[in-house]
Chains A and B, each alone.
Chain A
Amino acid sequence: MMRFLLLFSRQGKLRLQKWYTPLSEREKKKIIRDMTTMVLARQPRTCNFLHWKDLKIIYKRYASLYFCLGVESEENELLGLEVIHRYVELLDKYFGNVCELDIIFNFEKAYFILDEFLMSGEIQETSKQTINRCIENSDMLQELSY
């Protein structure tokens, strides 16, 4: 099961956070701080996995943005990497050549896409087409209503 997903920039600025287990604000802040310091300190050509307390951390950098996924220790690390990758693909399909600014200015959209992809810390839907259709449908609704 996934515990959290964080997106942050190379400067350690948080861009998106999703928590799948209840945590207090203090715990969240500590995790965010620990993740940014640990992940940003990693040398090139090291593996994409880390240990943090009893969790596995899987991270990957796309352009200027780090995607950091916390999973329970029995999870499959490679699969975690593919979860991140699929999310990036979904963002890319929606925004078209996605970049950090897209996510900064339209973060609620990034959340909506994530919520169609993952639910309760598990994969809900893996098809790019289906997820995109869902998001586009709601965008259509929005345009109709205004």
Chain B
Amino acid sequence: MSDVVEKTLTALPSLLSLDSQPGSAKLSSTSKLGALIRGITELTSKHEEEKLIQRELASLKDQVSSPNTSMRQMKEAMVRAIYCEMLGYEASFSYIHAIKLAQQGSILDKRVGYLAVTLFLNENHEFVLTCYDYKHIIPIIIYCVYDTCNTPLVEEKLNHPKEIIRRKAVLALYKFYLIAPNQVQHIHNRFRKALCDKDPGVMFASLHIYLQMIKGYKDLTASFVTILKQVVSGKLPMDFNYHSVPAPWLQIQLLRILSILGKNDQSTSEIMYDVLDESLKRAEINHNITYAILYECVKCIYTIYPKTDLLEKAAKCIGNFVLSSKINLKYLGLKALTYVVQQDPKLALQHQMTIIECLDHPDVIIKRETLELLFRITNAQNITVIVEKMLEFLHQSKDDHTTIDLVGKVAEIAEKYPLQTMNTVFSLGGDMIQPDIPNSFLKLLSEGFESEEENKKLRLFAVDSYILLLEGETRNLPQRFLQVISWVLGEYSHLRNDLDPARVMTLLTKLLEMRQTSSETKTWVLMAMTKLCSGEASVSIARSVCEDLSSSMDTVQRQRAHELLLLSQDRALRSQLLPLCSDPEPLEVDSSLSFLDAFVSEALAAGAAPYKPPHQRQEELAQQKALSLEPYELSLPINMSSSCVTGRQSPTLMSVSSGLSGDSAELSHKGGSTTLKLEGVKRVWGREGYLSKKEPVEEVAQAEIPSPLSSPNQHTGASGTSSNTHPPIPTPEPEQEKQQLASSLFVGLGSQSSLCLVRADIYALHVAVFQYSLSVIRPVVHFEVMGMLSYQSSHKSHEVEFTYKLPLTNFIRPFTVSTEQYGAMWLAFSNDTKQNLNLVTDGQDSLTDTLNVLKGKLNLHIVEIIGMEGIVACRLAQDQPCLLHCHIHAGTLAVWLRSPVPDLPDSLLYHCQRALEGT
């Protein structure tokens, strides 16, 4: 304990001269607090500390409850009580005295009393609740606890001549607004008065309230813009400067208000363009606080109705953040990118290498922020890489909150490859995942896509992979995943004709026997078995399962087992109740239960009591009772803090058993066991992905509508791997791997390659031939040729769009060079890429064979083959060459491609790979 002091001493030698300093002159070594602190620092064990504090608390208790204690002593005692509480010891006996002190003492005593009360109590504290009856205490409690008193009193203070009082009054009202917005509704005009206060501090305080309820105050936009203009140009008193930046907190508050006002509102946004431009320009000083303002400015510019040149400036600003060597700025840059990338995915391209670096950053926080960014740029092409990165992070993450958040995100983007990804997600995320994720997944499987073919493939794949999983070790699979597996097997195993249901039944029985399986999962398994049991073998398995479970303690399980037994024996009933999933129409659920009407009227006629809903029964029961045994409700509202997040979710919402267990067996089957009750479930998965979020892919597609009138010879070759504005600089070799990762991550973000070729008007019986030559400017793997055909038929005009995909190979020609020429060129070319490819054959001439395949398929020229090495050359249709150096290494073909054209090696490599895979 004493080393605390020692370290402080060594860290700050100035401490020795403490007594001569103005502030610390009051560091009284003789005071009781001083003695207490000193006493504690001399102790060596926690136990001793506890003893000392208990003694201290006992003496404090005597002191505060003695009538002879003066206010000054009381104040001193209160400070010690605060100290003990800070060390983690309760001093609840002093609470009431703290309130008294705040109420009765002189101004200074009040202040300490007030401090003590704010530290000891809050509005949820039970002490406040027990004080409820002491009417005289209430105002003071409210005063201390809410940082405010009753509104009329505060309202009065709004007119106080001193600006500091007015400012505090406004902030108090703000707090009050947060707690009970309705209570301050009648004084909105007061806020406006505060906004126009001659003291800028009061005006600043009122902005907190306006930020909360700004939506209704569009008319104030011009005023806010004027205020910001004045602030930015330094019209405020020097007092408001912070490190020579004029009133940064005020600026940021105003920027936030403006971004809310300008969102989706062009005319309002137009008012603020000038001042935003000005703010960007003014924030030049290289200090954290200017970066804070810039960040807020950029966010505002991207939130309001867009203006091109502002967006450009903002993008440049983000660049400064991302490229900064200061890690805090980099973090904020990533955050800003994440924010803007939805509107402008190309921005991520500009910074791709930085993003890749951040992905491997030693600081987890930076890594996490990068994943957040990647999550926003997910598209069909890069999804697997991104999901992989996210799962990698998940493996290392130990924090529950992060896991829940990340698993949710993975699930959101996983629909493109539903099964592979979801399986990994389920087994990794385990029972941590939100219950609606498996729900949505099952919904996706059951509703499926438009094409029946694809549906069947997906379902078959699911069945196959789950059978495989169950045959392996099942003990570590999370319950949620087991439930999904059971459902899928029950529903879809019949699709696989060669699969014996008995085999599936046996696998499922294994799950039932496992000790780890929860009773909820068991219900799922039993349900699946009921759907499956056809054929002799299955029925006998079912029988033995039912025998085991007929004595189960769990009513629901017993019920399910009973159903299984009955249905396994009555095939006709079973197929009626649980039809195979072939019909795509969702089952109609008769929620009014009208089919029971006959039964009910019969029962009523026989003298049964009419049905009463539960609430009515309860009411009647309560009336009958003389004594109410239920606890009274709390008379003060208790609101749970929003920061308290429960780590784990309660059991699934999807439980088939829970909703049905009370009903009769027959009813439950009609109700919804073949398909889950899906009506109430929000549709979150669809053909295009997770529906509630707009996928970045879609946006790209919308943004890049090709203009049909562009000239036929216009050649745009866009690539996914680099942006058009920033051609990649030749990179040294260690960067290679990162480049590759980048190309897989950022693929599909650039503009689509679109060649618009033809606009032809074809008249009846005429044939028009259009011929165009194409040349490549920037190579990509595939080019898309788009065209539009418009023609007239009987006074109606028709338009037909067509697209045609041209692989890069169509533009490749053999390139005849000598070995010497090749050598000279090889050294001159700067863009390269390397990869190991599969060999076509294993034999002696595997190199020759493989190169011949490449030659045949890709139109390459083999320059020379010497032993295990071969050199190959080709060129794009005009004159841009690409050289390949190949040699056999450890059973693979190591190829090294070089070219003067940036993306040619990568694109060509793709085709080489495809060419060799095809054989």
Q: Tell me the A residues contacting B by CB distance below 8 Å.
A: 3, 9-11, 13-17, 19, 21-25, 27, 29, 43, 45-55, 63-64, 76-79, 81-82, 85-86, 94-102, 104-109, 111-112, 115, 119-120, 122-127, 129-130, 134, 138, 141-142, 145-146
Cβ contacts under 8 Å, B213 to chain A: none
Asked if B8 and A47 make an inter-chain contact with CB atoms under 8 angstroms apart, the answer reads: no
Are A86 and B365 interface neighbours, CB within 8 A? no
Supply 29 A–B pairs (Cβ within 8 Å), ascending by A: A16-B86, A19-B122, A29-B88, A47-B365, A50-B365, A51-B365, A64-B8, A64-B12, A77-B328, A77-B335, A78-B332, A82-B248, A95-B21, A95-B24, A96-B22, A97-B14, A99-B8, A101-B27, A102-B27, A105-B27, A107-B83, A119-B171, A120-B171, A122-B174, A126-B247, A130-B239, A134-B164, A145-B108, A146-B72
Whether A11 pairs with B645 at a CB distance below 8 angstroms is no
Question: How many angstroms between the C-alpha atoms of A85 and B292 in the bound complex?
Answer: 14
Q: Is A23 touching B328 in the complex (CB atoms < 8 A)? A: no
Query: Contact check: which of B115, B248, B641 meets A27 at CB < 8 Å?
Result: B641
* Inter-subunit contact A126/B240 (CB<8 Å): yes
| Interfacial residues of chain B within 325-360, with CB under 8 A of chain A in the complex | 327-332, 335
B208 at the interface (CB under 8 A from A): yes
- Cβ contact within 8 Å between A78 and B328: yes
B122 touches A22 (CB 8 A): yes
A10-B7, A134-B164, A138-B108 known; 10 other A-B pairs, CB under 8 Å? A22-B122, A23-B124, A46-B366, A51-B368, A76-B292, A96-B21, A122-B205, A123-B249, A125-B167, A145-B108
Binary interface encoding of chain B residues 93-118 relative to chain A, with 1 for a CB under 8 A from any of its CBs, else 0 = 00000000000001110011001000
Whether the pair A96, B366 counts as a contact (CB closer than 8 A) is no
Asked whether B643 lies within 8 Å of A78 as measured between CB atoms, the reply is no
Complex CA–CA separation, A19 to B119 (angstroms): 8
B561 at the interface (CB under 8 A from A): no
Which of A29, A53, A85, A97 touches B645 (beta carbons < 8 Å)?
A: A53
- Answer whether residue B224 sits at the interface, using C-beta atoms and an 8 A cutoff: no
For A109, the chain B residues whose CB sits under 8 A away are 23, 26
Interface residues of B in 1-56 (CB under 8 A from A): 4-5, 7-8, 11-12, 14-15, 18, 21-24, 26-28, 33-34, 37
Contacts of A50 on B, CB cut-off 8 Å? 365
Whether B644 and A46, one on each chain, are in contact in the complex, defined by CB atoms closer than 8 angstroms, is: no
Question: When A and B form their complex, which 8 residue pairs have the shortest distance between CB atoms, in order from nearest?
Answer: A22-B122, A95-B23, A78-B292, A120-B175, A46-B363, A99-B12, A127-B239, A96-B21
Contact with A along B282-304 (1 / 0, CB 8 A): 00000011011001100000000
- Closest partner residue, chain B, to A85 (CB atom): B288
- What is the number of contacts between chain A and chain B, taking CB atoms within 8 Å? 198
Chain B min CB distance to A142 (Å) = 5
Interface of A is mostly: mixed
Q: A53-B643, A76-B295 are in contact. Are A105 and B34 (CB under 8 A)?
A: yes
For residue B763, give the distance in angstroms from its CB to the closest CB of chain A. Answer: 61
Q: Is the CB of A47 within 8 A of B327?
A: yes
What are the residues of chain A within 8 A of B82 when measuring CB–CB? 107-108
Q: Is the CB of A21 within 8 A of B643?
A: yes
Task: Determine which of B288, B365, B643 lies in contact with A46 in the assembled complex, contact meaning CB atoms within 8 Å.
Answer: B365
Encoded as 1 (CB less than 8 Å from any A CB) or 0, chain B from 222 to 242 comes to 000000000000000001101
Q: Is the CB of B288 within 8 A of A81?
A: yes
The reply to whether A79 and B249 form a contact with Cβ atoms under 8 Å apart is: yes
| B240–A47 CB distance below 8 A | no
Q: Are B86 and A14 in contact (CB under 8 A)?
A: yes
Q: Does B123 contact A (CB under 8 A)?
A: yes
State which residues 745-799 of B face A: CB under 8 Å: none
Chain B residue contacts of A96, Cβ below 8 A? 21-24
The distance from the CB of A36 to the nearest CB of chain B, in whole angstroms, is 12
Q: Which residues of A contact B401 (CB under 8 A)?
A: 51-54
Q: Please, what's the 1-or-0 string for B163-203, where 1 marks a CB less than 8 Å from any CB in chain A?
A: 01001100110110010000000000000000000000100
B252 lies within 8 A of chain A by Cβ: yes
Give Cα A48–Cα B291 distance, bound, in whole angstroms.
15
Q: How far is the CB of B291 from chain A (nearest CB, A)?
A: 5
Please name all residues of chain B whose beta carbon is closer than 8 Å to the beta carbon of A17 when the two chains form the complex: 86, 119
Say yes or no: A78 contacts B8, CB within 8 Å. no
Is A101 in contact with B107, judged by CB distance below 8 angstroms? no
Distance of B740 from chain A, by nearest CB (Å): 28
Query: Inside 8 A of B363's CB, which chain A residues have their CB?
Result: 43, 46-47
Q: How far is the CA of A16 from the CA of B83 in the complex (A)?
A: 9
A120, closest chain B residue (CB): B175
Question: Given A22-B641, A47-B366, A141-B107, A99–B242 Cβ distance below 8 Å?
Answer: no
Rounded to whole Å, the gap between the CB of B10 and the closest CB of chain A is 9
Point out the residues of chain A lying under 8 angstroms from B124, CB to CB.
Answer: 22-24
User: Given the complex, which residues of A lie within 8 Å of B164, measured CB to CB?
Assistant: 125, 130, 134
How far apart sit A77 and B485, CA to CA, in the bound complex (Å)?
44
Instruction: List, in ascending order, chain B residues with CB within 8 A of A97's CB.
Output: 12, 14, 21
A76, B8: Cβ atoms closer than 8 Å: no
Q: Which of B12, B24, B242 contacts A63 (CB 8 A)?
A: B12
- Interchain CB contact under 8 A, B249 and A126: yes
Set of chain A residues within 8 Å of B12, measured between Cβ atoms = 63-64, 97, 99-100
The contact of B643 among A47, A49, A54, by CB within 8 Å, is A54
Report the minimal beta-carbon distance from B299 to chain A, rounded to whole angstroms. 9
